[in-house]
Amino acid sequence: MSNNTTKKQLKLNFTGEKPQTKPAVKKYRPDTSDNSNSSMDELNSIHMQLQAMTDGISSLREDLKSMLRKDEVEQLITNTVTSVMHKIEQNMNKKIDQLVNEKYKEMQATIESLDFENKSLKDTLQKLENNNKTNLKSLQEQIDKTDEISRTASKKANYNEQYSRKNNIKILNIPENRDENDESLAKTVIGILKTHTEVDLQPIDTVAMHRIPTKKGQTRPVLIKLRNNSVKSAIMRKRAPMKNGGYKLVDDVTKPNQGLINRLHLHPDIESAWYFNGAVYGQTVADERIKFDIYDNVSGVIEDFRQYRHNGTQNR
């Protein structure tokens, strides 16, 4: 029996509608046979109604038995939702995996491309570095060579300049007069030399005589350029008498050589330093007489000198 049929039957049976019966008969009286028949009919009718209700209830019971319980419904819903969610999750995971794989492939391709570019850049940088090292080495060699040439040129220029001054002398502390000129200066210098050195300097012995600049506030020295070295030697041998007279005789030394002399004076191993015959010399605290040049490392030259002397090799 279907559910619809059952519901219809229940609806009919529970509305109180009476089933079809025989037409109503007149009330019977207990004492007649008609009344007996009528009572039987009513009992039959009630019995049929009860039977119908029993059948309906039995059918309803069977239908209710076939219906799911609440917890079963909840479980069914849960299972259904779980199954649906699982399928959705599977689909989502599949889509995600697909997207991840696609992105991974893209990233892998990008990484490989970047790797290639990086390697190319490294190779380029390495080449540039090698070229720079080569160029730097070549440049350093050129600089060293240029520096060597420059030092050599400076040494030669200093030597030539010093050689051009070999017959020059400077006299310090000769007072200046406001009306002084070349002629009056020459007379003054000749008189001082004759008085303190007994050297009779003649005009023919000099090439030039004039004052040269000095520090502000100091008396300018007198520079005498002599014609030959013999006259210079005769005057320079009289340094002591000139010093006693308040004057000072010095060689006309170039600026680089004077700087070298000052540097030697500051060195702890050098006791004294001087210029002589175109070169600069220093005397060590160990009483060693050593020749120096303008670019020399003083300590290195002293060590070389002692090493040469120890080995029996003559110094420069």
- 218-266 pLDDT, tens digit per residue, is 999 999 999 998 999 999 999 999 999 999 999 999 999 999 999 999 9
Whether the per-residue pLDDT at 19 is higher than 60: the answer is no
Least confident of 17-21, 32-36, 129-133: 17-21
Least confident of 64-73, 174-183, 277-286: 64-73
Dihedrals phi, psi of 223, to nearest 5 degrees: -100, 130
Would you tell me how many other CB atoms lie within 10 Å of the CB of residue 225? 16
| pTM of the model as a whole | 0.57
- Higher-confidence residue of 63 and 145: namely 145
Helix (H), strand (E) at residue 207: strand 206-211
Whether the per-residue pLDDT at 54 is higher than 60: the answer is yes
Tell me the C-alpha distance between 292 and 238, whole Å.
26
Burial zone of 105 (CB within 10 Å; 0-12 exposed, 13-18 middle, 19+ buried): exposed
Q: What share of the chain is helix, strand, coil (3-state, %, to 5)?
A: 65, 10, 25
pLDDT of residue 24: 47
pLDDT of residue 10: 44
Quote the crossing angle between the two packed helices 255-266 and 70-164, to the nearest 10°.
110
Question: In CATH terms, is domain 168-252 a member of 4.10.93.10?
Answer: no
**Average per-residue pLDDT for the chain:** 83
Whether the per-residue pLDDT at 9 is higher than 70: the answer is no
| For residues 198-209, average pLDDT | 91
| For residues 201-226, average pLDDT | 92
SS3 252: coil
SS3 32: coil
Helices (H), 165-227: 182-196
Q: What are the pLDDT digits (tens) for 95-131?
A: 888 888 888 888 889 898 888 888 899 899 899 989 8
CA-based nearest residue to 275, from 300, 292, 299: 292
| For residues 134-150, average pLDDT | 90
